[in-house]
């Protein structure tokens, strides 16, 4: 038990709760990957990711118990069918682990910035280092196997200059200025994340037996494909190369390795991450047309996310996060 001065803040409680959901989901998915991965280097990387997250889960459970909070349900063996045939290729497993490390660094650094209590701060700081190491290993492995899709290389001016005209900010009409390196980086990164999302959802769509879940997932695939086309069109107009994936990453299997609850939650989680990256792109893009594009796409996937939450509520899958007590309910 902790004294009033050392109790977790609302931010710290939110961060460990969200971390618990993410860790249990990832462990469940990775446990299935480990059954089917064939490439030895990718197997070792996946095992390292699993072991790291398993240790995180032990600490998270301890934090909930120490704080006298209910341990969340999250995800586990009931959400995975280890006997289901291979749904994804090894290259997907590698890309999934690499992306998981990126998201892990992002979430951990955010949690560190909001932590006050020393043990919570240290936990997320150590998590960041662990995810950073995993990311480095995944990058090295992907490059060595020729599976790493690098951001485009572009010729840039060798002279330092300052913006002279307000037209630098426009992009609605007339001749648009060339894209900045930051704008290209954002577009490329969002293409890559959407393509991995398309592969993930494609596997989900062909394995779920629920019509409602299938319809929801197929709609997500169509939205992601549209976003990729829009981002590619901006790069194509600017004559910036857009590398294509050479591997579909999804097999022809139709047996579901994951529960409908896990798949739906996974989709809504990807949307949340997408909104975060689109929002960051707005803050670093100077061209107004790009900011407007990202704003429109955020609104679209925000509505899609809400529909996913409603689907989970209807099926009793949405675990309620920690919240403030309802004073009105207590009075009654």
Helix intervals (H) in 238-287: 260-284
Which string of b and e fits 90-127 if b means at least 16 CB within 10 Å? bbbbbbbbbbbbbbbbbbbebbbeebebeebbebbeeb
Same fold, 9-144 and 179-314: yes
Residue 11 CB-density burial (10 A; 0-12 exposed, 13-18 middle, 19+ buried): middle
- DSSP structural state of residue 143: H
| Residues 142-164, mean pLDDT to the nearest whole number | 76
pLDDT above 70 (res 86)? yes
Cα–Cα distances (Å) from 187 to 226, 233, 247, 293, in that order, read: 14, 10, 21, 11
Residue 232 exposed, middle or buried by CB count within 10 Å (0-12, 13-18, 19+): middle
The answer on pLDDT for 299 being more than 90 is yes
- Return the pLDDT at 167: 52
According to the model, what pLDDT value does residue 242 have?
81
Q: How far is CA 317 from CA 15, 42, 145, 264, 272, in A?
A: 20, 32, 39, 9, 17
Quickly name the fold that domain 9-144 has. Answer: Ferritin (1.20.1260)
In sequence order, which ranges of 238-325 are alpha helices (DSSP H)? Answer: 260-284, 288-314
Q: Which CATH architecture has domain 179-314?
A: Up-down Bundle (1.20)
pLDDT at 176 over 60: yes
pLDDT tens-digit readout, 6-21: 889 999 999 999 999 9
Domain boundaries, the chain: 9-144, 179-314
Q: Residue 1 — pLDDT band, cuts 50, 70, 90?
A: very low
Q: What is the pTM of this model?
A: 0.90
pLDDT of residue 149: 84
The model's pLDDT over 46-82, given as tens digits with 9 standing for 90+, comes to 999 999 999 999 999 999 999 999 999 999 999 999 9
The whole-number pLDDT of residue 241 equals 85
Q: Per DSSP, which regions of the chain are E strands?
A: none
Give residue-wise pLDDT tens across range 113-136: 999 999 999 999 999 999 999 999
| Confidence check: pLDDT of 207 > 50 | yes
DSSP single-letter state for residue 88: B
């Amino acid at each position: 038990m902790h004294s009033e001065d050392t109790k977790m803040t609302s931010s710290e409680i939110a961060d460990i709760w969200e971390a618990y959901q993410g860790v249990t989901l990832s462990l469940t998915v990775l446990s299935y990957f480990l059954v089917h991965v064939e490439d030895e280097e990718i197997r070792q990387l996946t095992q390292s990711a699993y072991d790291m997250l398993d240790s995180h889960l032990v600490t998270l459970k301890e934090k909930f118990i120490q704080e006298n909070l209910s341990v969340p349900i999250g995800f586990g063996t009931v959400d995975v069918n280890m006997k289901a045939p291979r749904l994804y290729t090894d290259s997907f497993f590698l890309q999934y682990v690499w992306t998981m490390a990126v998201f892990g660094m992002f979430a951990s650094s955010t949690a560190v910035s909001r932590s006050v209590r020393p043990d919570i701060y240290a936990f997320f700081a150590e998590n960041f280092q662990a995810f950073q190491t995993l990311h480095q290993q995944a990058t090295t492995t992907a490059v060595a196997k020729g599976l790493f899709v690098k951001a485009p290389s572009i010729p840039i001016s060798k002279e330092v200059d300052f913006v002279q005209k307000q037209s630098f900010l426009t992009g609605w009409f007339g001749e648009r200025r060339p894209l900045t390196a930051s704008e290209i980086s954002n577009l490329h990164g969002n293409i890559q994340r959407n393509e991995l999302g398309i592969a993930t959802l494609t596997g989900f769509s062909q394995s779920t037996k629920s019509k409602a879940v299938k319809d929801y997932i197929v709609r997500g695939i169509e939205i992601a494909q549209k976003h990729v086309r829009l981002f590619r069109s901006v790069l194509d107009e600017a004559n910036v190369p857009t590398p294509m994936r050479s591997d579909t990453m999804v097999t022809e299997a139709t047996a579901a390795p994951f529960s409908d609850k896990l798949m739906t939650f996974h989709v809504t989680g990807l949307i949340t991450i997408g909104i975060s990256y689109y929002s960051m792109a707005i803050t670093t893009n100077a061209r107004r047309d790009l900011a407007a594009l990202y704003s429109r796409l955020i609104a679209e996937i925000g509505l899609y996310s809400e529909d996913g939450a409603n689907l989970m509520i209807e099926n009793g899958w949405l675990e309620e996060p920690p919240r403030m007590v309802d004073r009105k309910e207590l009075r009654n």
